Structure 1
């Protein structure tokens, strides 16, 4: 009986201390980045690089892309936090440094959405490597 209680407590503890944040830990390919402004043509970019999320809530971006003939690079460290509904990226002047809403939050696929305060809606799709 005592072994059953200990096992149950261990199982309950593992469940309580596990959160959706653990889904993010690892390296993700940024499969799609989309930026849409109402009334204007949007921009969609495919396979623009990777984002790595570490267990200690730090990470690294390795993003390279071209928009309207202008090459952009976003290779900088960041910190992150997440809840059941949101993920927040903090760091340099990156377009990704903000709070994102989870549209899909799966182990191998993430889809996030956010705005930049100027009516631009951004969508990010990540696939785990």
Structure 2
């Protein structure tokens, strides 16, 4: 099933081509980069996944709804230790895999935040 079928309201708001879920929400496993000298904001023990909401989704839902998304994800039962230092970048704890997390977030956006 295509993204247009699965997330019709969100996809109707996006004009750029979208080929895969990562074009909407990028979810990557968080790991301890021992070669990096940067201070890690997202400790892998506390936040095992990093989430980035792409600009095309941010534009489709608007800043007010991005703030609502942060609140909704923070209260979501499938995500623990949620942390959002930026409006579009989050750390979270979950037993789900990257793709399942991305689909859960995009489903929430399509269902709750797109008019």
User: Common fold, TM-score beyond 0.5?
Assistant: no
TM-score by length of 1: 0.27
Structure number with the higher helix fraction is: 2
Structure with more contact order per residue of length (Cα contacts < 8 Å, sep ≥ 6) = 2
Structure with bigger gyration radius: 1
